[in-house]
Amino acid sequence: MNIVFLGPPGSGKGTQAKKLADANSIPHLSTGDIFREAISAQTPVGKEVKSFVESGKLVPDQLVSKVVFEKLGTLKQGFLLDGYPRTLEQAKDLDVFLKDRSLTLDAVFFFDVDFDELVQRLSARRQCPGCKEVFNLVARTPKRDGTCDACGGALVQRPDDKAEVVKDRLEVYRKQTQPVLGHYEGRPEYHPINAARTIDEVYNELTSRLGQKARA
């Protein structure tokens, strides 16, 4: 299946993508995780994107699309894109990439959550840099303080989850990413979902909608 997750920072894209990808062996491509890894490994791409990512600004379209298409080009079947496309330009780039390969999207999910809830979720987020598992000090606490349940790694707070950066990220989302919803609205694969429910409730809705598609 070819799946896209759209939604504001903190709406649960990464949490659900990891669960869904692990359960169904679908390659999970998170542009944010790809960039954070490149920054930590100090690769040329990492050096180029560091100031954008850590200040909550968007990485330039051309560079993001190049990185995404290089990864997509290596996949044999199916993908789950988490955090891409995030501008109209990227959405158009993705359309062209897929059309050139006679591919289509099976589902585009929009994770709908109020901004007030997002601020709370992001301030309480902790992530494992090793296996990318996402925790929350309120909604998804690790069994041992500061330690990843999945791999035992030390959990960290993302630099862009500081309150002042979160404010800017939400503004960037409102201005640059919200218009992407209009690009997909009206297409049969587009599904807005209420992502303000519990992690399990959101997951059940995703799997049930994907199940309906698989049976169609």
Catalytic residue among 19, 50, 86, 121: 86
Long-range contacts of 141-144 (CB under 8 A, 24+ apart): none
Using rule CB under 6 A, residue 12 touches ligand AP5:
yes
Query: Site mask, Mg ion, residues 4-23, x = CB under 5 A?
Result: ----------x---------
Distance in angstroms (rounded) separating the CA atoms of residues 122 and 3: 24
- Residue identified by tokens 């909604």 is 139
**Nearest CB to ligand AP5, comparing residues 2 and 136:** 136
Q: Which parts of 20-79 interact with ligand AP5 (CB under 6 A)? A: 30-32, 35, 52-53, 56-59, 64
CB of 215 to ligand AP5, least distance (A): 26
DSSP 166-195: HHHHHHHIIIIIHHHHHHHTTSTTEEEEET
**Residue written as token pair 């999945």:** 150
Residue of the chain from 19, 28, 86, 132 that contacts ligand AP5 (CB under 6 A): 86
Q: Is 215 a catalytic residue?
A: no
Reduced to 3 states, what is the DSSP secondary structure of residue 125?
Answer: strand
- Angstrom distance (rounded) from CA 168 to CA 163: 9
Residues of this chain that bind Mg ion (CB under 5 A)? 14
Question: Which parts of this chain interact with ligand AP5 (CB under 6 A)?
Answer: 7, 9-15, 30-32, 35, 52-53, 56-59, 64, 83-84, 86, 90, 121, 124-125, 134-136, 139-140, 160, 169, 198-199, 202
